[in-house]
Homo-oligomer: A and B are copies of this chain.
Amino acid sequence: MKAHVYVTLKRTVLDAQGKTVADALRRMEYKGVADVRQGKYFLLTLEDGLSETAAHTEIERIASEVLTNPVIEEFTFRLEV
């Protein structure tokens, strides 16, 4: 089983990196991009024998306690069973 975790800045936080990428795309004349937000992506490979429920609970804990700065970041994740 694998867990895909996506950590992004909260909407209330200025995404300077995302804005820089968006400006660069415009300057380089790439078409059709209105906005860019940049974050972190984690791919966790889980050990065999972990139930889906246990995995969900553990990944929720890991994402909120280790992978995310709760003051400025939020996360979503999905399990790949």
B-binding residues in A (CB < 8 A): 6-8, 18, 21, 24-25, 28, 30-47, 50, 54-55, 58, 61-62, 66-67
A7 CB contacts on chain B under 8 angstroms: 41
Please determine whether A32 and B47 come into contact, CB atoms closer than 8 angstroms.
yes
Given A32-B58, A66-B28, the answer on whether A41 and B43 have CB atoms closer than 8 Å is no
Please determine whether A38 and B41 come into contact, CB atoms closer than 8 angstroms.
yes
Assembled-state Cα–Cα distance A43/B38 (Å): 6
9 contacts between A and B (CB under 8 A): A18-B42, A21-B66, A30-B61, A32-B46, A32-B54, A33-B47, A33-B58, A35-B44, A40-B40
A45 CB contacts on chain B under 8 angstroms: 33-36
